[in-house]
Structure 1
Amino acid sequence: MTNDELKYRTKQFSLMVLSLVEKLPNSISSRVVVNQLAKSATSVGTNYRAVCRARSDKEFIAKLNIVLEEADETQYWLEIIEEMKWINKSELEFLLKESSELVAIFVSTLKTVNNRLNSK
């Protein structure tokens, strides 16, 4: 997957999450989750764009770790929504799968870069 494809994919992920949060109930607890989820999901894409502009391997790794943290946090909030039953599980399935795949991509990329750097 190219950088541009992953930029597009992370932006689409952000947009899908933003559409989801519009469907959530308006309660005190859901507002907390909505706020956290919207922030973390949109942060995945914005921080990935910063990864693509990294000027060194160290900067690349540092920024990609932030992306990984945000993707993992997003997955956590989606799981909370699922367990609270605020949204039909079928509506969450794609986002849960996508967040899991994004986490896996970022973990794999970090391992590859770290292995390459450690073998020098």
Structure 2
Amino acid sequence: MQDLKLRTKTFAVDCWQLCSIIPKSREFDAWARQLIRCSSSVGANFRASQRAKSTADFINKLKIVEEEADETIYWLELFLEVLNINHEEMKRLKKEGEELLAITVASIKTARKNQRK
């Protein structure tokens, strides 16, 4: 789990760094704030899941991670459509978000399966 803890933290930092090079304007500012918020929430809620008080609590916290990772991917997709800067970094972050989302969904499925036993 240490790997995912570091990975989700790095993901948030990398999204923040991407936002630091996005042009400063009213339109981009709203999107950049959303991207920073949801990408950092992925790591924060993953960390919270590691301190869950029950399997149900663990699943609930991972569901938040799932939603926030999906939202992060959405904002990255929008930036890819409208910005002509650093597309490779945005694509890399989108791929990382998709991988984190897939890992989270698989973890939720496993936890639910184990909960039924």
**Matching residue of 2:37:** 39
**Matching residue of 1:95:** 93
Matches within 5 A, 1:46-85: 46-85=44-83
Distance 1:30 1:92, change over 3 A: same
- C-alpha separation between the residues in 2 aligned to 1:87 and 1:74? 18
Q: Structure 2 length normalisation: TM-score?
A: 0.95
* Structure 2 counterpart SS, 1:25: coil
For 1:108, the aligned partner's letter is A
Output the aligned Cα RMSD: 1.0
Q: Percent identity?
A: 44
**Matching residue of 2:23:** 25
Determine if contact 1:37/1:77 at 8 Å carries over to the other structure: yes
Determine if contact 1:14/1:45 at 8 Å carries over to the other structure: yes
**Matching residue of 1:115:** 113
* Structure 2 counterpart SS, 1:104: helix
Q: Structure 1 length normalisation: TM-score?
A: 0.93
- C-alpha separation between the residues in 2 aligned to 1:76 and 1:86? 17
**Which runs of no fewer than 5 residues in structure 1 stay unpaired?**
none
After superposing on structure 2, the runs of 4+ consecutive aligned residues of structure 1 that deviate more than 3 Å are none
